[in-house]
Amino acid sequence: MDECEALCTRMTIMVNGRFQCLGSPQHLKSKFDEGYTLIIKLRIDPVASGKTADSSLETKTRAVMDYVSKTFPGSQLKDQHDGRVHYHIGKQSGMRWAQLFGAVERVRSTYDIEDYTVSQTTLEDIFIRFARMQRGVQSLKRRFWFF
């Protein structure tokens, strides 16, 4: 899908032989937007070692998770591992890019955030959503064409 986004100015998606959408990659992303992906990486203290480092990281992770849950209602935790948390923030939250970045940037030093990423729905996410609409071969009416 990265190649399509880089090379194509217009794309179309068909499901079960029917035309579903046509537009630029950004138009499709905006129209079929499912929200944002937020990935936060916490700073790991290289000086601390053993159980204290693990408990400190776990405490920081729990604090960040509480903050995200309170700040972005309806957010879904997708993954949490080794000082990284991955959230999906749905479209229904009504958040805009600036609000999302601002909310994370304001607490960056408070929660010892080393790095974070905010991204919109990808073309691959949109394609997978349409692919789920695809009916199985057996559910399609069998049609035969003879030439």
Q: What is the pLDDT of residues 13-33, one digit of tens each?
A: 888 888 888 999 989 988 888
Nearest C-alpha neighbor of 72 from the set 103, 41, 27, 29? 103
Residue 35 CB neighbours (<10 A): 21
Tell me the C-alpha distance between 33 and 36, whole Å: 8
Residue 132 has pLDDT above 80, yes or no: yes
Q: What is the pLDDT of residues 71-129, one digit of tens each?
A: 998 899 999 998 999 999 987 767 788 889 999 999 999 999 999 999 988 888 888 88
Walk me through the domains of the chain, giving residue ranges and CATH numbers.
1-33+122-147 (no CATH), 35-120 (3.30.70.270)
Encode 36-55: b = buried (16+ Cβ within 10 Å), e = exposed.
Answer: bbbebebeeeeeeeeeeeee
